[in-house]
Amino acid sequence: MKKIAIWIAAVWAAFGASAWAEGPVVVELYTSQGCSSCPPADKLLGEIAKRDDVIALAMHVDYWDYIGWKDEFANPDHTLRQRAYSRAAGKRSIYTPQMIIGGKDHIIGSKPMKLAELLEAHRAAPKPAIVNVVRDGARVRIQVTAEGRIPSGGAVVQLVTYSPSETVSVRRGENAGRKLVYHNIVRDFVEVGRWDGRGTYRASVRVPQDMPVAVLVQARNTGPMLGAAHLR
């Protein structure tokens, strides 16, 4: 635990607490309750999830379920998304814990200094799309406009709902006997529509009123994030 605390302190020191003007950085953590290497990454995600300039998402995968503990948050669609990222990067394998920053950079999820470096770089980079999202009762209204060059293949607009925090007592598998806390657990991840980068994209989507929401605008074929916004 002491080592984890040192890692987290390093992230805070390197990432800083200055104001941001380019939109939040999207961090996806591919993790599993059945993975003994994942708890440090889960804790690290929980720390960066506190920041307004980061959209931190825990994408629980199902491919470790066979080793003795079925992850109650796992979704096979998350595994497919991770595989799509791997193909886009020209890689053949997937693993946990893996963090994908801005839809582009892949790192081991328990590397705080590398994470801090990439967060700073992505935060400073201009975002081609400006995303606005407003809650209206049981719906959210989305508006996307171009601020820079949108890839010729266009973009997908995706809506994510997530649970802020859950505690799980793992009874079997590699983490047997541990009580683990998970943060920003993705419950639903859907494509709202596609946008060619021209004009203003608008949509209205029904969502649970008691759940945080993130809207991600991403280049097609699991490309880089072009813009994002969230409502807690």
User: What pLDDT, on the 0 to 100 scale, is given for residue 15?
Assistant: 47
Of the chain, the percentage scoring pLDDT greater than 90 comes to 87
User: What pLDDT, on the 0 to 100 scale, is given for residue 23?
Assistant: 82
**pLDDT at position 55 over 90:** yes
Global confidence as pTM: 0.91
Count of the separate structural domains present in the chain: 1
User: What pLDDT, on the 0 to 100 scale, is given for residue 17?
Assistant: 40
**pLDDT at position 171 over 70:** yes
User: What pLDDT, on the 0 to 100 scale, is given for residue 106?
Assistant: 97
Do 140 and 204 form a contact (C-beta atoms < 8 A)? Answer: yes
Cβ contacts of residue 12 below 8 Å, gap of 6+?
A: 47
Domain region containing 196: 2-16+23-231
**pLDDT at position 205 over 50:** yes
Q: How far apart are CA 50 and CA 164, in angstroms?
A: 10
Q: What is the 3-state secondary structure (H, E, C) of the chain?
A: CHHHHHHHHHHHHHHCCCCCCCCCEEEEEEECCCCCCCHHHHHHHHHHCCCCCEEEEEEECCCCHHHCCCCCCCCHHHHHHHHHHHHHCCCCCCCCCEEEECCCEEEECCCHHHHHHHHHHHHHCCCCEEEEEEEECCEEEEEEEECCCCCCCCEEEEEEEEEEEEEEECCCCCCCCCEEEEEEEEEEEEEEEEECCCCCEEEEEECCCCCCEEEEEEECCCCCEEEEEEEC
Question: What rounded mean pLDDT belongs to the chain?
Answer: 92
| Beta bridge partner(s), residue 179 | 169
